[in-house]
């Protein structure tokens, strides 16, 4: 069966990592890389033989371009217009921006939702890293409140990410509430200019817990989440660091293992690894690759 034909919209940090990542798999091909102006990067990709566009997604679709999947790696404020046009096509939209438009999906938590919507939101890098832990532990600890803090290296946040800072905070918090069952949540993020650049790290805390669980049981739950996420983000690690009646804390770190990324760019790796999983499952569901195993990923 043919590979899924994918468009990558936005040739920035997220878009270019997706481009390299998709070249590594045989069931998706990069059909077009779409920007909005004649940048040097797009020019180089064109010289290497890739189909590139300088005029944006909407014009390409208006001119009849046809894709199985569109990865939107532009900007949360641009995405609604992209979706307005793409929803009239047969393409699956995989939204890497924190636009809050599509159905939020975190593969180890609810990848089956890919079968029920044509616009999948990948939430955010911090959502992809924290929600698997929270979805597992909230069910066992019944906290009254959860809190996530994230730190990422400045060089791994492009101008688009900086412009979307508010959307990043809000959509991460909202997806935590929607996908974990916690009654209350706070999310905070900081961008570090330190040298050498720090790894992508999060502290995930659950407070006012209605139940207590022994260390060994919590450690085994955390381990099972880590094993699940590592299937698409191999540099993911999670460790229980505090278990008291007041608070349970899990420290998460994500390193990038892709040869094309510095190891501190785990924020790019985890969201893009998850996005590729989503597209592949869509391909299997829609019969593009019949005969491939279609196992759902749950931790
Ligand atoms: N970096 C991360 O860790 C991360 C993680 C998760 C999610 N995200 C989200 O992913 C998105 C991109 O982030 P980024 O860090 O990759 O930013 P970036 O490096 O600034 O990349 C954004 C790219 O999109 C292009 N673009 C903007 N509007 C466009 C349009 N209408 N049509 C085509 N291309 C367009 C920009 O082109 P110009 O050069 O012409 O502006 C730029 O090349 C943001 O929404 C961000 O919140 C980022």
How many domains is the chain partitioned into structurally? 2
Outline where 164-251 has alpha helix (H). 165-180, 215-229
Q: Tell me which of 14-23, 151-160, 287-296 is least confident.
A: 287-296
Q: Ligand 1: which residue has its CA nearest to atom 44?
A: 161
204 and 251, same domain (yes or no): yes
What pLDDT score does 293 carry?
Answer: 37
Q: Which CATH number characterizes residue 114's domain?
A: 3.40.50.720
pLDDT at 137 over 50: yes
105 and 229, same domain (yes or no): no
**Half-sphere exposure in the Cβ direction for 168 (13 Å, CA):** 21
**299 lies in some domain:** no
pLDDT digits (tens, 9 = 90+) for 172-209: 999 999 999 999 999 999 999 999 999 999 999 999 99
Atom of ligand 1 nearest to the CA of 41: 43
Please tell me the distance from the alpha carbon of residue 242 to that of residue 182, in angstroms, as a whole number.
Answer: 19
Q: Which CATH number characterizes residue 134's domain?
A: 3.30.360.10
Confidence band for 291, pLDDT divided at 50, 70 and 90:
very low
What pLDDT score does 289 carry?
Answer: 44
What residues contact 109, with CB distance under 8 A and at least 6 apart?
Answer: 131, 132, 135, 179, 298, 299
**47 lies in some domain:** yes
117 and 231, same domain (yes or no): no
Q: Supply 115's token pair.
A: 């079968």
Atom of ligand 1 nearest to the CA of 15: 16
**155 lies in some domain:** yes
**294 lies in some domain:** no
Confidence band for 128, pLDDT divided at 50, 70 and 90:
very high
Please tell me the distance from the alpha carbon of residue 280 to that of residue 114, in angstroms, as a whole number.
Answer: 10
Q: What is the DSSP-derived secondary structure letter of residue 88?
A: T
Ligand 1 pocket member 272 (CB < 6 A): no
**64 lies in some domain:** yes
Q: Which domain holds residue 192?
A: 125-267
Q: What is the mean pLDDT of the chain?
A: 94
Confidence band for 131, pLDDT divided at 50, 70 and 90:
very high
Q: Ligand 1: which residue has its CA nearest to atom 27?
A: 74
26 and 137, same domain (yes or no): no
Residue 172 preceded by cis peptide, ω within 30: no
Query: Rounded to two decimals, what is the model's pTM?
Result: 0.95
Please tell me the distance from the alpha carbon of residue 113 to that of residue 107, in angstroms, as a whole number.
Answer: 9
Are the C-beta atoms of residues 198 and 264 closer than 8 Å to each other? Answer: yes
Among 18, 32, 109, 125, which one carries the catalytic annotation?
125
Confidence band for 1, pLDDT divided at 50, 70 and 90:
low
145 and 235, same domain (yes or no): yes
106 and 161, same domain (yes or no): no
**290 lies in some domain:** no
Exposed/middle/buried for 178, CB within 10 Å: 0-12, 13-18, 19+?
middle
Are the C-beta atoms of residues 205 and 144 closer than 8 Å to each other? Answer: no
């Amino acid at each position: 069966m043919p590979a899924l034909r994918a468009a990558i919209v936005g040739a920035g940090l997220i878009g270019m990592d997706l481009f390299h990542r998709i070249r590594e798999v045989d069931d998706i091909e990069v059909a077009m890389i779409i920007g909005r102006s004649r940048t040097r990067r797009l020019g180089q990709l064109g010289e290497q033989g890739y189909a590139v566009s300088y005029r944006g997604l909407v014009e390409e679709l208006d001119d009849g371009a046809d894709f199985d999947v569109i990865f939107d790696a532009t900007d949360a404020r641009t995405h609604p217009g992209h979706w307005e046009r793409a929803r009239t096509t047969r393409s699956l939209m995989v939204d890497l921006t924190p636009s809050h438009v599509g159905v939020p999906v975190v593969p180890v938590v609810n990848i089956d939702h890919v079968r029920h919507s044509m616009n999948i939101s990948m939430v955010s890098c911090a959502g992809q890293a924290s929600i698997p832990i929270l979805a597992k532990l909230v069910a066992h600890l019944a906290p009254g409140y959860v809190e996530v803090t994230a730190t990422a290296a400045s060089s791994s946040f492009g101008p688009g990410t900086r412009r979307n800072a508010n959307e990043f905070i809000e959509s991460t918090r909202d997806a935590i509430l929607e996908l974990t069952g916690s009654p209350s949540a706070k999310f905070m993020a900081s961008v570090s200019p330190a040298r050498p650049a720090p790894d992508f790290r999060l502290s995930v805390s659950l407070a006012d817990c209605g139940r207590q669980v022994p260390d060994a049981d919590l450690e085994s739950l955390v381990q099972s989440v880590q094993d699940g996420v590592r299937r698409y983000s191999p540099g993911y690690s999670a460790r229980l660091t505090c278990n008291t009646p007041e608070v349970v804390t899990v420290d998460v770190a994500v390193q990038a293992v892709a040869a094309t990324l510095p190891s501190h760019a785990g924020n790019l790796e985890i969201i893009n690894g998850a996005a590729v999983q989503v597209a592949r499952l869509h391909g299997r569901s829609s019969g593009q690759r019949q005969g491939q195993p279609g196992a759902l990923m749950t931790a």
